[in-house]
Amino acid sequence: MPREFIECTEIEGKTVKTAKIYEDAVDGCETVIEFTDGTSFSSCVSHQAAIKATLYRGGAGTPQTLRNYEP
């Protein structure tokens, strides 16, 4: 599955005045970049809990997956 990304071409070439990273236990991590032209850019990265389980047979070599469980 290809990873998605966001391209922010409007901020290319701008001069950075300040860059701050904030940690938030609820919402994740926010990055705020202020530019010398008076504009600012903000982005947030957060994790969502996921439930995943695998039944496998171990031993020598690579484990053999018997079943993947996902809701």
Domain boundaries, the chain: 1-47
pTM for this entry? 0.61
Position 2 confidence tier, pLDDT thresholds 50, 70, 90: low
Structure tokens at 32: 């705020």
What mean pLDDT is reported for the chain?
A: 86
Task: Tell the burial category of 14 from Cβ atoms under 10 Å away from its Cβ (0-12, 13-18, 19+).
Answer: middle
In the chain, what are the helix, strand and coil shares in percent, each to the nearest 5?
A: 5, 50, 50
Q: Give residue 55's pLDDT.
A: 86
Q: Give residue 14's pLDDT.
A: 93
Type of residue numbered 12: E
Averaged over 48-63, what is the pLDDT? Answer: 83
**Is the pLDDT confidence value at 49 over 80?**
no
